Structure 1
Amino acid sequence: MEIKMFYRTQRDVAVAINQLVDAYWKEKIIEQKLIESIKDIHKNNQKKLLKDNEFTKVVQQQCGKRRLVIVERILEMK
């Protein structure tokens, strides 16, 4: 599964997150790949993912609560 480093829109970021988490749930990627990919997306697309320390509205609407709980826990990891 190929993930870009830089995305053009918030919707593109949300689609990438959905693909990653869904692939993990279907056991197509391992946990470490999920963690690394989410951290890379966050590092390179912070303004498209978070605003005022919360996920942007577009990301919230596109990803849903269950996926964002996973993303939030990954981002809290050191």
Structure 2
Amino acid sequence: MELKMFYRTQRELAVDLNKLVDSYWQEEIKENELIDGIKNLYENNNEKLLKDNQFTKVVQQHCGKRRLAVVEKVLEIK
């Protein structure tokens, strides 16, 4: 799966985060690809993903609780 390094908006980031987690759930990518993808998205776009150690509202609304639970576990937030 091809992901950008840097995103212009929180919405674009959320859409690709959804694609990444969904493709893992549909067994299109392996677990290590999911982990690497999430970590890369976080490292390069952390200001668009998190604010005050919580997911931004736009990301919460677009991704939903189940996807963000996976992201939390990978990033070891909280």
**Which position in structure 1 is the counterpart of 2:71?**
71
Q: How many residues align?
A: 77
Supply the AA of the counterpart residue of 1:30: K
Equivalence for 2:58: 58
Inter-partner Cα distance in structure 1 for 2:72 and 2:13: 14
Q: Percent identity?
A: 65
What letter is aligned with 1:60?
Answer: Q
1:33 paired residue number: 33
Provide the alpha-carbon RMSD of the alignment: 1.0
CA distance in 2 between counterparts of 1:74 and 1:8 reads: 23
Amino acid in the other structure paired with 1:47: E
Q: Which amino acid aligns with 2:69?
A: V
Q: Which amino acid aligns with 2:43?
A: K
In 1, Cα distance between equivalents of 2:75 and 2:16: 16
Q: Does 1:6 align with 2:13?
A: no
Whole-Å Cα distance in 1 between the matches of residues 5 and 40 of structure 2? 7
Uncovered stretches (5+) of structure 1, i.e. residues with no partner: none
The AA in structure 2 aligned to 1:10 is: Q
Provide the rounded CA distance (Å) in 2 between the counterparts of 1:66 and 1:51.
19
* TM-score (structure 2 length as normaliser): 0.96
- Give the SS at the match of 1:45: helix
Say which SS state the counterpart of residue 75 (structure 2) adopts: helix
